[in-house]
Structure 1
Amino acid sequence: MSTPAVENDALEKAGSATEALYLTRDTYFPANPDDKIARLKSESDLALNLLDSIPPEQRKLLTQRARYEYLRGKILDVLPEYKREAEDHLSKAVKLNPSLADAWLCLGNCIWKKGDLSSAKNCFTLALSKGPNKQILCQLSMLERKMAQGADNQAELVDESIKHAKEAIALDVKDGNSWYNLGNACLTSFFVTGAWDHAKLLQSLKAYQNAEKDERMKSNPDLYFNCATVNKYLENYEMALTGFEAAALKDPGLNATEEVQKIVNLLDKLDNLLQGHARSKRLASLASSLAVVNLNSSYKRATVNLLSEGLNKAVAVVGKVLFFIKHENVAPLYYLACDPDQVCFVLSVYGIQYDSIKEGDLITLLDPLYRQVEFSWKEKFYQFKSFRVDFKEQLLVNGKALTPHQAVRTSIHAQHKP
């Protein structure tokens, strides 16, 4: 005759095997994804065997039956596709013990896989009614971002996602996964609101940097990929390249190597154009036409070489657009331009229609945000002067402000995982 201690010990062993199974899911990223599926199937079979070794008479207590059903459902749900059998066991677990928050969490994840997002949300909300839980808050935050895709109230749902992400952090400020989730929420907000709000990118980057302080997050390739995505849009090219390369090493299944190549292609194109136009004879005649441009008296005229790095308040820089630079991402729009001193620079513009600025146009940058880009990558040195325009109000084209219909909230979706 077995004792409750022996029965609980058997359930504890099955619980440990389930934790190990999910650790494999979250940290094992072989070059061939099929190898991961095979390993998960093998480990899940071992965990199920442990559960099957517990005779029915040894799990008569309500709490034991609930835990048994919960573990069985969780093991069956480890693979990416939805399994009805997993949902059935998890549903039994919450009926047997409605206070089992982890079972509600797993049931919500399982139902999410079959596309029933509102029922999944109900599971997470019920789980939270049992008490605050950082894991459940993070899952709810993720789900709200998924629900936002294509919804009429997209921005509202993403704001809810950010709110729940912050609530998870408030429960444990050192938890890297909660910070990572907030970073994802802020990055999604950047895309949903039109890929122009610099502040959202900075909030996302800060959250990812906090996530990196947690040693457990070092095995998460998506953290490196998403942080690199933020750095790409912040035009921190070297950090973006380093991050995408690290993500590719951790999970070859991500398209991080392609992201590295896209950035290198852009940088090489910028470098070639800058070198070509720096030696161009037509540069002098183009630059000379800029001297006669009239400016609003509230702005002080300056050329590129007189600027300080960062924001230059109450300053205006006039330039001539030499070239529209095609590249492989939707945003920003890149241009090569020159100032009256024949100094060439790169201009990146967010939030406007692609045909709002054309080659040959006269541009006036108001309160310009200026950077000197200098770094080496794979033994090639990149060096150029760069301006970033986030709002149409920071730019005049041929002396005129851009009209509202020339503004755009770029329709792009985050490539990062939710």
Structure 2
Amino acid sequence: MRREASGAAASSASGLEPQRQQGEGKHVAEARRTLLEKTADTVEELYHLRDTFFPRDPTEKPAALRACADAALAVLDSLPAEQRKSPQQRAVYEFLMGKILDVFPDYHKEAEEHLSKAVKLNPSLIDAWLCLGNCIWKKGDLESAKNCFLSALSKGSDKRILCQLSMLERSMAQGSDGQAFLVDESINHAKEAVLLDIKDGNSWYNLGNAYLTSFFVSGAWDHAKLHHSVKAYQNAEKDETMKLNPDLYYNCATAEKYLENYESALRGFEAAALKDPGLSADTEVQKIISILDKLDNATKRQLRPTILASSVSSLSEVNSKLSHKKVTINILSEGLNKTVAVLGKVALLIRHDNVAPLYYLSCDLDQSYFILSVYGLRSEAIKEGDRVALLEPYYRIMDISWKGQRYKFKSIRVDFPEQIRINEKAPAAHHVVRASIHAHNKS
């Protein structure tokens, strides 16, 4: 999974403006706006640049951000003393100063100092708590960052704070003993944010990221999480503002890839590459095409009938003591096939660049070839020539078209170690994968 967009950009200048009287004219309202409020709009433009500008030459972005930040600081420095006299005005001034300095990826000590002053002057300034939490997060103090977000939530529910807390919990989960618990908390906070505004694309995007992370946690490759993730990303895309976010398309494509919806994954990675040339999305496209070429070519590989018959003959003698009914691949229905088991012989390990899944060319008792994709196991768990019993197999006929090329083959997917027996034995415990979390945050 790629980086996640920081909710700091969502800190709105609207929270800094007094309520306008109903019916007040637009020009009158504009004239009454203070320079401090206008500066807040300039800062929003700075963050919009950060989150939507993805030049082909990545060195252009820091320079553009620096120029825009310097311009915003100059405007803020020109603020008359009388417009930053009261504690409330001073708090907003310190908040904006800190937010400008914190726009860059690296931790900025001066930004933290300004933001800390802002929340001391006005503890109810939620936007300042949000930015302070993000700033402290950058220096690696995750607990203090969490305390900032919780302090903001103590003033009232806020979708932006909930999204940041959700994202932080995923970051805290990496390498933690309480990994699964923290990711579950991340999902809960993401759902809470969505319920506050079901039309907000960033909240849906955050929920999609939470579910995608959950898929990787502890090696429990439950693809129901992937379906939830894709659905959340699709809801995020309904928000026009999210269509500028290349990571939405990248992360959705990642979920589609692990669902083995390769055509959708290819379209998503291609869209991400067009929106941000700096992403490795075009590399992901080439990886999928390479895998499909290998899978397609493997299924076309033909052993001589006598060799094939000899290879699978041992399957009929297997006494697996299974309660499942033994079947061949040709009578399976697409999707999950409960109460049945397919006996297969592993003919070939198909090597590729991704960590998961493991791909094998296999054949069943009817000498029908299929691709076996296995999640949650290490590559040494299954060797060429092994007999496998696939319990409650998830079966699909893959038919993928991409730019004039067509790939078609039969596939059985194994998501959990409990779904497979290798040479009549359950997989050894040391062969079961406990996956790390594949998440990168952008703040």
TM-score, normalised relative to structure 1? 0.93
SS at match of 2:348: strand
Q: Residues 309 and 372 of structure 1 are in contact (CA less than 8 Å); yes or no, is this contact kept in structure 2?
A: yes
Counterpart in the other structure of 2:326 = 301
Counterpart in the other structure of 1:325 = 350
5+ unaligned residues in a row in structure 1: which ranges?
none
5+ unaligned residues in a row in structure 2: which ranges?
1-29
One-letter amino acid of the counterpart of residue 127, structure 1: A
Q: 1:160-210 CA distances to partner (integer Å, 9 max, x unpaired)?
A: 211111111111111111111111111112212215122222222222122
Deviates more, 1:371-380 or 1:293-302: 293-302
Deviation at 1:335, TM superposition (A): 0.8
| Cα distance in 1 between the residues matched to 2:164 and 2:88 | 25
Q: 1:24-71 CA distances to partner (integer Å, 9 max, x unpaired)?
A: 111111112211111111111221222122121332222211111111
- Are residues 1:59 and 2:84 paired? yes
Q: Residues 338 and 393 of structure 2 are in contact (CA less than 8 Å); yes or no, is this contact kept in structure 1?
A: yes
Compute the RMSD of aligned alpha carbons.
Answer: 2.1
Matched residue count: 414
Q: Which runs of 4+ in 1 moved over 6 A?
A: none
Counterpart in the other structure of 1:160 = 185
Counterpart in the other structure of 1:11 = 36
- Are residues 1:413 and 2:409 paired? no
CA 1:275/1:68 → structure 2, altered by over 3 Å: closer, same or farther? Answer: same
- Are residues 1:142 and 2:142 paired? no
Counterpart in the other structure of 1:184 = 209
- Are residues 1:120 and 2:174 paired? no
Counterpart in the other structure of 1:391 = 416
Counterpart in the other structure of 1:359 = 384
Q: Residues 13 and 50 of structure 1 are in contact (CA less than 8 Å); yes or no, is this contact kept in structure 2?
A: no
CA 1:7/1:108 → structure 2, altered by over 3 Å: closer, same or farther? Answer: farther
Q: 1:115-147 CA distances to partner (integer Å, 9 max, x unpaired)?
A: 111111111111111111100111111111111
Q: Which has the higher contact order (CA 8 A, sep 6+)?
A: 2
Q: 1:220-245 CA distances to partner (integer Å, 9 max, x unpaired)?
A: 11111111111111111111111111
Deviates more, 1:17-26 or 1:357-366: 357-366
SS at match of 1:323: strand
Q: Residues 350 and 390 of structure 1 are in contact (CA less than 8 Å); yes or no, is this contact kept in structure 2?
A: yes
Q: 1:335-368 CA distances to partner (integer Å, 9 max, x unpaired)?
A: 1101122211000111223222211112222221
Deviation at 1:378, TM superposition (A): 2.3
| Cα distance in 1 between the residues matched to 2:439 and 2:195 | 28
Which of 49, 62, 70 in structure 2 is aligned with 1:37?
A: 62
| Cα distance in 2 between the residues matched to 1:287 and 1:411 | 33
Q: Residues 56 and 278 of structure 2 are in contact (CA less than 8 Å); yes or no, is this contact kept in structure 1?
A: yes
| Cα distance in 2 between the residues matched to 1:326 and 1:281 | 26
One-letter amino acid of the counterpart of residue 413, structure 1: I
| Cα distance in 2 between the residues matched to 1:21 and 1:402 | 53
- Are residues 1:223 and 2:223 paired? no
CA 1:233/1:414 → structure 2, altered by over 3 Å: closer, same or farther? Answer: same
| Cα distance in 1 between the residues matched to 2:111 and 2:42 | 17
TM-score, normalised relative to structure 2? 0.88
Q: Residues 74 and 106 of structure 1 are in contact (CA less than 8 Å); yes or no, is this contact kept in structure 2?
A: yes
Q: Residues 364 and 395 of structure 1 are in contact (CA less than 8 Å); yes or no, is this contact kept in structure 2?
A: yes
